[in-house]
Amino acid sequence: MAEKKEKKTTEGKLNYKRTFLIGFGFMGCMLLWSVYNSYVPVILRGKLSQLGIADFAQAHAFFKWVSVPLIVNAIMTIDNIFGVVFQPHFGKKSDRTHTKLGKRMPYILVCLPICAMFFTFVPVAATVRATGLSILLMMAVIICFNFLMSVWRSPVVSLMPDFTPSELQSDANAVINIMGGIGQMVGFVVGTIASTLCGLLGFVTLSQNLKADTNALGEVLDEAGNVVLNAAGEPVYVNYTPVFLVAAIISVLCLVVLYFFYKRNKQYDLSANVGFEGGEEEKKEKIKIKNLPITKEEKRSLFIMLGALFLINNATEAIVPNFTNFANDTLKVSPIYSTLMMAVFAVSLAVFGIPAGRMGRKLGRKKTIVIGLAVIVAMFAIYLAVSQFLPANADGSVNKFTWITLWVALVVGGAAVGCININTLPLVLAIGGREYVGTFTGYYYTATMSASVTGPILCGLVIGLFKEDYNFMFLFCSAFFALGLLTMFGVKHGEIAKGEDAAWLEEAVKNADD
């Protein structure tokens, strides 16, 4: 009976329970990234500010362009660089792995707990009083963490295709993305969870410090904006270890769920007896643009679209590593509160995903992308204008109207980014057609991943040039979104999918999002 029921479930119908449990691995991954991108920039900025980099840059003409925001953002690109270099390698390596625990689980079981341990050590290293030593320890921990994340991320993403027939993978990928979104949302609120737990366990001071406003050095400020001193008369710094510890524990619990799921369901692993089929097939996908069997006009549209993608992603990738420092400096709120603000942006983006897809089908992909870009440029420009021309409050915080403008910009901007993100990959793939999905997906990710490295660094440079005023993050993003908008007008192809029908395109897009 059990075998009959299983057969019935897998033939033409997705096993949602199984797919949901597989998604716990991706949920743990996105949880760690969410906390890392929200809190590490704040910690790094505090430690590097203590090192006196600004004074050093002013004293040496050659280094005048160097600033704390630039260095912080450069460090925050390590994960993207490692992702490009190591992730594909370990993804392919897991294809060739054969153990009793399958192809992927050995990488996940070994690396995720160690990764979680290094993750917890990031704020611990920041508590070392000797600033130079503290930064060296932090960098060592950050590099180890990012490398280990590159080892197990591809295997954890590959679990879904291992357990799902190809005709059901589009629906399964939607479930996996929902689990990743849940992990991201948990990451945004984990600071509040950690603060509450500290209070319940009697660590009242620690709980209050996590909620406290801080200055650029990460020192705790009282209600009057003065630096809080300890009994020895030294400044009190915020210790984010509880936040990282709670996130690490939750990620390990996700691994426990995934392990017991795999142990009970490994007989349904479709890849268990499948060898690695690389070589010739992979070589076919690596084809130069000039040799593609598409017209000169289509090649021109492809080049312009890839340029637009690079410009657009320079803007989107610059927001994440700078938002918590922006909120701390300009809005005078703690990182815990700023992560909740980012959650609003992420929810808006996720909720508008389906409407954005429908807009792309009805209005056209290019028009939908252009609308999204125009809206987000307008919202960011309006916020920047309001924040610069309306006077701040007496304590230096922004006034009520600026707050309202920012909240509107976050909600509307999330929806606008949804219009852009949902339609860019289908447009690129439609130019190439069914036979070149792998090739054009590679072009797409080359453009976006390149921007994930340059975007934060260029934004950090701009912020540093404007005396570390994080409001100019919006100037940088508006400028690159505007350049992307202008570039999009040169794209003349990609609205209609090549081939007998467009069903392949929808499946290709969902699979590429892995």
Map tokens 């594909």 to a residue: 88
- pTM for the structure as a whole: 0.85
C-beta separation of 338 from 327 below 8 A = yes
- Does residue 183 form part of some domain? yes
- Does residue 7 form part of some domain? no
Q: How far apart are CA 426 and CA 430, in angstroms?
A: 6
* The pLDDT value given to residue 426: 84
Angle at 480 between CA 375 and CA 361, to 5 degrees: 45
Domain count, the chain: 2
Domain boundary among 271, 302, 335: 271
C-beta separation of 88 from 154 below 8 A = yes
- Does residue 8 form part of some domain? no
- Does residue 445 form part of some domain? yes
- Count helices and strands (H / E) in the chain: 19, 0
Residue type, 147: F
**Same domain? 242 vs 305:** no
Residue type, 166: S
Name residue 227's beta-bridge partners: 221
Task: Going residue by residue through the chain, which has 514 residues, state the pLDDT in tens, using 9 for 90 and above.
Answer: 444 444 444 456 878 888 889 899 989 999 999 999 999 999 999 999 888 776 666 656 566 778 889 999 999 999 989 988 888 888 888 888 888 888 888 999 999 999 999 999 999 999 998 889 999 999 999 999 999 999 998 888 888 888 888 777 767 777 887 888 889 899 999 999 999 999 998 888 888 888 888 888 888 887 777 888 877 778 888 899 999 999 999 999 999 999 998 888 888 777 666 555 554 444 444 566 666 767 788 888 889 999 999 999 999 999 988 999 998 888 888 888 888 888 888 888 888 877 888 888 888 889 999 999 999 999 988 988 888 888 777 766 778 888 899 999 999 988 998 889 888 888 888 887 766 766 777 788 888 889 999 999 999 999 988 888 898 898 999 999 999 999 999 988 877 666 545 665 666 666 665 5
Tokens of 227: 């630096």
**Same domain? 368 vs 480:** yes
**Same domain? 293 vs 252:** no
Q: What is the CATH number of the domain that holds 167?
A: 1.20.1250
Which string of b and e fits 127-139 if b means at least 16 CB within 10 Å?
Answer: eeeebeebbebbe
* Nearest one of 91, 90, 89, 147 to 118, comparing CA atoms: 147
**Same domain? 262 vs 317:** no
**Same domain? 248 vs 319:** no
Map tokens 């200055």 to a residue: 215
**Same domain? 153 vs 27:** yes
Name residue 237's beta-bridge partners: 219
Q: What is the CATH number of the domain that holds 426?
A: 1.20.1250.20
* The pLDDT value given to residue 4: 46
**Same domain? 342 vs 416:** yes
Q: How far apart are CA 67 and CA 15, in angstroms?
A: 52
- Does residue 131 form part of some domain? yes
C-beta separation of 27 from 20 below 8 A = no
Q: What is 438-458 written as a DSSP string?
A: HHHHHHHHHHHHHHHHHHHHH
Handedness of CA 192, 452, 492, 476 (dihedral sign): positive
**Same domain? 255 vs 319:** no
Domain boundary among 245, 271, 297: 271
**Same domain? 330 vs 475:** yes
Q: How far apart are CA 196 and CA 208, in angstroms?
A: 10
Domain boundary among 237, 271, 305: 271
Which string of b and e fits 285-294 if b means at least 16 CB within 10 Å?
Answer: eeeeeeebeb
Which range marks the domain in which residue 356 is found?
288-514
Tokens of 273: 């007896």
Inter-CA distances, 272 with 163, 214, 245, 357, 382, Å: 10, 52, 35, 35, 55
- Does residue 169 form part of some domain? yes
- Does residue 277 form part of some domain? no
**Same domain? 492 vs 391:** yes
Q: How far apart are CA 97 and CA 88, in angstroms?
A: 15
**Same domain? 421 vs 463:** yes
**Same domain? 262 vs 329:** no
- Does residue 5 form part of some domain? no
Q: How far apart are CA 87 and CA 80, in angstroms?
A: 10
Phi and psi angles of residue 288, each rounded to the nearest 5 degrees, phi first: -70, 150
> What 3-state DSSP class applies to 493?
coil
